[in-house]
Amino acid sequence: MTDLTRVIDERFVARLADHVDGEGKLVRAIVGLTPLVDRDVVLVDGGPVLARALAADPQFSIALKAHQFIPKDLQIPAGQTVELRVHNTDPTPAEFESISLHREEVVVGGGEIRVFVGPLDAGRYEFFDDFHPETRGTLIVK
């Protein structure tokens, strides 16, 4: 049996264990859940980690509506990994793509994707909908 510790999100650490189920299959299950406090130090795979270092990346939202990015220009911080949540309010699929960010991901009509970028240097990074190339936006990194 393998005993692992994994961070669920910025609020909990889970202890996982591998075991054999009733059908003889090896499965991994959560066997313990510990809430995190900002100053807690937890062991993650045997190494100490300060709980506040486990906080989620900053999140920013972009919507696709009538084949336009809203906001068209989005400012994010330099030197940090950020999570972009791209929500497609249109009924048709779109493709969030950026050559400079090396990202390309389809977002179905009415769906949402999460795109992680960075850490980035200050500058401007263009993105577009590959299915509708006239639909463009810019990440402004400061």
How many distinct structural domains can be found in the chain? 2
User: How far is the CA of 17 from the CAs of 4, 7, 14, 23, 73, in angstroms?
Assistant: 6, 14, 10, 17, 45
- Residue range(s) defining the domain that contains residue 69: 59-141
65/112 same-domain check: yes
CA-based torsion, 62, 76, 83, 131: positive or negative = positive
Check residue 1 and give its pLDDT. 41
Which helix H or strand E contains 85, and what residues bound it? strand 82-88
| pTM for the whole structure | 0.62
Check residue 109 and give its pLDDT. 93
Residue for token pair 């500058």? 123
CATH classification at residue 81: 2.60.40.420
For residue range 45-100, list pLDDT tens digits in order. Answer: 445 444 444 455 788 999 999 999 999 999 999 988 888 999 999 999 999 999 99
Task: Report the pLDDT averaged over residues 103-115.
Answer: 91
Yes or no: say if 112 and 49 are a contact pair by the CB < 8 Å rule.
Answer: no
118/70 same-domain check: yes
81/137 same-domain check: yes
Domain boundary among 54, 69, 85: 54
For residue range 30-46, list pLDDT tens digits in order. Answer: 555 555 554 444 444 44
